[in-house]
Structure 1
Amino acid sequence: MRILIPDAQFLDDAEIERAAAGPGVTFDVHRAVRETDVPEASWRACDAVICYHVIQYRGPWLDRLERCRVMVRAGVGFDNIDIAAAAGRGIPVCNVPDYGTTDVADHAIAMMMALTRGVAAYDAQLRADPVGAWRFDTPPLVRRVRGQTFGVVGLGRIGTAAALRARAFGMDVLFYDPALPSGAELSFGFGRTRSLADLMAGADIVSLHCPLTGETRGMIGAEALAASRPGQILVNTARGAVVDLDALFGALKDGRVGGAALDVLPVEPPEPDHPLIRAWKAQEPWIAGRLLLSPHAAFYSPSSIVDLRRKSAETVMAALAGEPINCVNGVVPRHG
C-alpha cells in the first residue's frame, strides 16, 4: 500500500499516520503548494491520497491517479476537491468530520463571549492606556447573554455542539437547516425556522456552521443581513466564502449589524486593502470593539491535530479494506 500526502501540514515523517496504518504501508509525504510540485510518478503510484487544504484537487489532474482507490480530505470541508470528477473516475472521497467538533464549538462560543462581555475591547483599550481606559462602559457590544437568542445556521455535529453550549449559558436556541428532517428539533428542544430570513430576524447572535456549497456561497449577503435583528452579532467558524465580506462591511458600517467574529474569510490570509480589514486594522472609531478576527484556528488544539491525523489514516485503511466511512461522493471503493 502506498499513501500519498501531497500537501502535508505537519513537520514530522508521518509518525502518527504510520502508527495508525500499521505495517506494510508506505507513506510518500510532500509539502507542496500546487499539484505540479509533487512528482508525477508519486501521483500515478499511490493507492490512496490524504488531502489537506492547500492543493486544488480538480479536473484532468485526477487522471494521474491511476491506482488510487480513495481520497481522504484531512478535515471537514472538501470544497478543494472535485468530488464529482473523482466519482467519474471511480474514486471515493471521504472526509474526517469529527476530529475537531468540540474545538470549533468552543471557539464559536469564545468569540461570542469575547464580544458580548467586552473582553477583547477591554484588553485593547487598557493596553493603549492602562489608567485612562480603566472604565467598564466603553465596549460597544457588552450585554447579558442569558435570555438572548442564539441562532445556528447548520445543525450538524458542530452546530449542535455550539447550540448546546449556548443553552448552558441560559440562551434560547433557534436554528435553520433545510437538510435536517422534520421533527429533529423535537429531540433537542430547539426552535426551528423554515427560512434564513426568519432566523436572521429572530436571533441576537447568529453562528454559522454550514458547509460551503453552491447554495451557501455568499449566503450571508446583503439580503440576509438586511433581515438581521438590529444589533445582531455574526459568528463564522464555518467557511469564509459563506459570508459576503462587502455586504458585511456595509451592514456594520450602517449599524444594522452590531458586530462580527470571523475565524474564516473568503481570502486567507485576508486582503489588507479590503475596506473592512483596513478599518479593523486601523481601529477606526466606528468599528472599534465590533469586529474580532482569528486565523482559521477554531479547529486547532494539539489534541485535535492528533485526532485529525490518526483518523485520516484510519479512514484510508477502512476504505482500502472495502469498508468506507464518511464517503461524500457515494462511490464504493475498489478492492485491491
Structure 2
Amino acid sequence: MKVVAVLYPDEQPDEHPDVLASAARGLDLGDDLRQAGHELVTTSETGEALDAELADAEVLITTPFWPVYLDRARIEKAPGLKLVITAGVGSDHVESDAATEHGITVTEVTGSNVVSVAEHNVLQILALVRNFVPAHEQVRQGRWDVADASQEAHDLEGKTVGIVGLGAIGARTALRLKGFDVRILYYARHRRSPAEEEILGVRYARLDDLVRESDVVCAALPLQQGSTALFDADRIGQMKPGAWLVNTARGAIVDTDALRDAVGSGRLGGYAGDVWYPQPAPEDHPWRTMPRNAMTVHYSGMTIEAQRRIAAGVREILDAHLAGDPPPEDYVVAAPGD
C-alpha cells in the first residue's frame, strides 16, 4: 500500500524537533509503515508532481485547507485512492461528493485542535480589545507613547461577545470567556439545551441581533453553503461602530474588500484571525497591511500538543484501514453510500 502525506514544508527541521506535521517528519509514520511493508511518500508539492504520486496511492494524508485541494479532477487522476485523512480538522479542501462517488472515505481527526483554537480565539480577542499589537510595536520601534497606546485600549469585562457557531470550538471559547465577566451571545443552526446554555454561560440570539448587539464577534463555524462571505459589506455594516471581529474559522467567511474598507475607515475597531483566502496569503493580500489587524499565519490549531493529538488520530485511522476495518465513526466526514 502506498500512502502519500502532503504536509507543511520545513526547511530547517533540525531547528523544529517538535513539529510533527511537516513533510520532513511525516507525523512520524514512516518507520511503522515501512516495517509493515508499506510505502510512505511525504511531500509539500501541490502540482503535477503530487498528481504523479497520487496516481498509484491508496491513502492520502493532508493538512487542513492547504497545501492540497482535492477536487474532482485530481480525484479522477488517482483511481486507487480509498482513504483521505485530514491531519487536523476541517475538510473543505476535499470535494467530498466526488470522493465518495469514487469509493473514497474522507476522514479527519475530530477534536484534535479544539483546545488550541479556542485559546487562540481568546488570545486574539484580547489582542484587539487591549490594543496589544500597536503597543508592542512601540517597543520594537523604541517609542514610549502611553497616550497613543491607550487611546484604543479597553477592558473586556462588561462587553458583549457574540459567537457565531457553537460547536466544539465555539463552546470551548465561551467557557474560557466566562471568567472575564462578559455577556456571551451565540448563534448556531441548532440551539443548545437550557442546561448547556447555563453551563457555557451563553444566550441564544438570531444572527442579525447578535451582530448588532456585540462588541466583539467571533466566527467559529465551518465553511459550507451559506457561510461563504457571511460577513459581507451589509452584515459588517450592521455591527456596532468600533466593534471587533475575530475569525479563526475560514477566511472566505469574510468578504476581503468589505473588511479592508471597514477596518481602514475605522468603522470596525479591528480584525484578527489566522485564516486567509486564499491560503497561503499572497504578499499583497490587503489584510496584511490594513490598520488595526492582529492577524497570524494559520497555526492556531497546530500547537505542539495539537500535533501530537493529530498524529495519534491519523495513526488510529490508518491502523483501522490496514486491518480492513472502517475508521472510527467520529472521524468520518463522508463515506461511500452516505
Sort the TM-score into its range (normalised by shorter chain).
Answer: 0.7 to 0.9
Counterpart mapping for 1:164-179 below 5 A: 164-179=175-190
Q: Do the aligned partners of 2:26 and 2:42 also contact (CA within 8 Å) in 1?
A: no
Moved more, 1-10 or 138-147: 1-10
Q: 1:155 maps to what in 2?
A: 166
Q: 1:89 maps to what in 2?
A: 102
Over 3 Å counting, the alpha-carbon distance change for 1:22 and 1:139 in structure 2 is farther
Question: CA separation in 1, counterparts of 2:312 and 2:37?
Answer: 14
The alignment status of 1:10 with 2:22, answered yes or no, reads: yes
Q: 1:284 maps to what in 2?
A: none
Over 3 Å counting, the alpha-carbon distance change for 1:15 and 1:271 in structure 2 is closer
Q: 2:257 maps to what in 1?
A: 246
Question: CA separation in 2, counterparts of 1:248 and 1:144?
Answer: 24
Q: How far has the Cα of 1:120 moved from its partner? A: 2.0
**Post-superposition CA distance 1:143-170 (Å, at most 9, x none):** 1111111111111111111111111211
Q: 2:74 maps to what in 1?
A: 61
Over 3 Å counting, the alpha-carbon distance change for 1:245 and 1:72 in structure 2 is same
Counterpart mapping for 1:278-317 below 5 A: 278=289, 280=290, 287=291, 290-317=292-319
Over 3 Å counting, the alpha-carbon distance change for 1:24 and 1:272 in structure 2 is closer
Q: Percent identity?
A: 26
Moved more, 8-17 or 48-57: 8-17
Letter in 1 for 2:244: I
Q: How far has the Cα of 1:86 moved from its partner? A: 0.5
Counterpart mapping for 1:107-118 below 5 A: 107-118=120-131
Q: How far has the Cα of 1:66 moved from its partner? A: 3.2
- Specify which of 120, 138, 143 is matched with residue 125 of structure 1: 138
Q: How many residues are matched?
A: 320
Letter in 1 for 2:72: G
Question: CA separation in 2, counterparts of 1:29 and 1:23?
Answer: 14
The alignment status of 1:230 with 2:237, answered yes or no, reads: no
- Specify which of 74, 85, 90 is matched with residue 87 of structure 2: 74
Over 3 Å counting, the alpha-carbon distance change for 1:187 and 1:106 in structure 2 is closer
Question: CA separation in 2, counterparts of 1:199 and 1:227?
Answer: 10
Question: CA separation in 1, counterparts of 2:60 and 2:285?
Answer: 36
Question: CA separation in 2, counterparts of 1:63 and 1:190?
Answer: 46
The alignment status of 1:218 with 2:229, answered yes or no, reads: yes
Moved more, 217-226 or 307-316: 307-316
Stretches of structure 1 that go unaligned for 5 or more consecutive residues are 281-286
Over 3 Å counting, the alpha-carbon distance change for 1:327 and 1:64 in structure 2 is same
Q: Do the aligned partners of 1:152 and 1:159 also contact (CA within 8 Å) in 2?
A: yes
Q: Do the aligned partners of 1:236 and 1:264 also contact (CA within 8 Å) in 2?
A: yes
SS at match of 2:152: coil
Over 3 Å counting, the alpha-carbon distance change for 1:63 and 1:134 in structure 2 is closer
Q: 1:188 maps to what in 2?
A: 200
Letter in 1 for 2:5: I
Moved more, 55-64 or 106-115: 55-64
Over 3 Å counting, the alpha-carbon distance change for 1:321 and 1:300 in structure 2 is same
SS at match of 1:94: strand
Q: How far has the Cα of 1:100 moved from its partner? A: 1.7
Counterpart mapping for 1:257-268 below 5 A: 257-268=268-279
Letter in 2 for 1:302: I
Q: 2:326 maps to what in 1?
A: 322
Q: 1:283 maps to what in 2?
A: none
The alignment status of 1:101 with 2:121, answered yes or no, reads: no
Q: How far has the Cα of 1:223 moved from its partner? A: 1.3
Letter in 1 for 2:304: P
Over 3 Å counting, the alpha-carbon distance change for 1:293 and 1:188 in structure 2 is closer
Q: Do the aligned partners of 1:21 and 1:314 also contact (CA within 8 Å) in 2?
A: no
Q: TM-score scaled to structure 2, two decimals?
A: 0.84
Over 3 Å counting, the alpha-carbon distance change for 1:264 and 1:6 in structure 2 is closer
Q: How far has the Cα of 1:106 moved from its partner? A: 1.0
Q: Do the aligned partners of 1:3 and 1:25 also contact (CA within 8 Å) in 2?
A: no
**Post-superposition CA distance 1:57-95 (Å, at most 9, x none):** 111331343333321111211121110000111211011
Q: How far has the Cα of 1:221 moved from its partner? A: 0.9
Stretches of structure 2 that go unaligned for 5 or more consecutive residues are 9-20
**Post-superposition CA distance 1:82-138 (Å, at most 9, x none):** 1000011121101123222111111111111122223222221233243xx242553
Q: Do the aligned partners of 1:102 and 1:158 also contact (CA within 8 Å) in 2?
A: yes
Letter in 2 for 1:258: G
SS at match of 1:214: coil
The alignment status of 1:209 with 2:213, answered yes or no, reads: no
- Specify which of 262, 278, 281 is matched with residue 270 of structure 1: 281
Letter in 2 for 1:328: V
Q: How far has the Cα of 1:182 moved from its partner? A: 6.3
SS at match of 2:332: coil
